[in-house]
Amino acid sequence: MADMKTLKDTLLSGGYDDALKAVYLSEDCIAQQRQRYAAVIDSFISLFGAERIGGLFSAPGRSEIGGNHTDHNHGRVLAAGIDLDAIAVASKNTENIVRVKSEGYRMDVIDLSDLSIQEKETGHSASLVRGVCARFQQLGYRIGGFDATTASRVLSGSGLSSSAAFEVLLGTMLNYLFNDGKIDPVEIAQIAQYAENVYFGKPCGLLDQMASAVSGFVMIDFKDPSSPVIEKVDFDFA
């Protein structure tokens, strides 16, 4: 966490290159990713100011390799997180309000004093923001106001789970801004699925959110959806 100017200067000077390599694997794209994250920081500064203290976050889209829709039926799947992801810069505020401005979309503004389902938000991103916050609170985790700007390379309607990436990104921000990163990826995925099922209104299975939250190349056994078994698959596609 750092103020926005320091965050951007450190990013562009290569201070986060090791983290970027861990996420994107190839060194060839690091310079491009630096510029991408810098643009999200610039967007945040233009809306909320350069003095704010915040951090950078990412959640990947996913590719389904085998087991289409078997997650609905307590089956097994092969899936992988991909290097097309949703990214964000986020900072706490003291207003009990969440503001999320995604590139190309209007800002979602959620008052945390009312986390009930809003029918007018069904099918819209605001419902996902509200739903993720609501589920965190229901499970006894801390929530609070924050401001964020996001951008995504997980194209909407592409079959790479843009909504799951956005939900997991929201959960990851709440996890590290307010809960010291103690919530594990499986629970982040389950929270994300809850938001999509109950608030967004789409009865999806858990595959998309789980593949995004866990990332890597994985086998997931959904025999018990409340406690899925996840196994990393050691395989190099190259």
Any idea which residues carry the catalytic annotation?
208
Q: How far apart are CA 227 and CA 144, in angstroms?
A: 28
Strand pairing partners for 221? 76, 229
- Residues 6 or more apart whose CB falls under 8 angstroms from that of 115 comprise 130, 133, 134, 137
Query: Phi and psi of 25, rounded to 5°?
Result: 70, -40
CB 198 within 8 A of CB 220: no
Where do the DSSP E strands lie in 27-66?
53-66
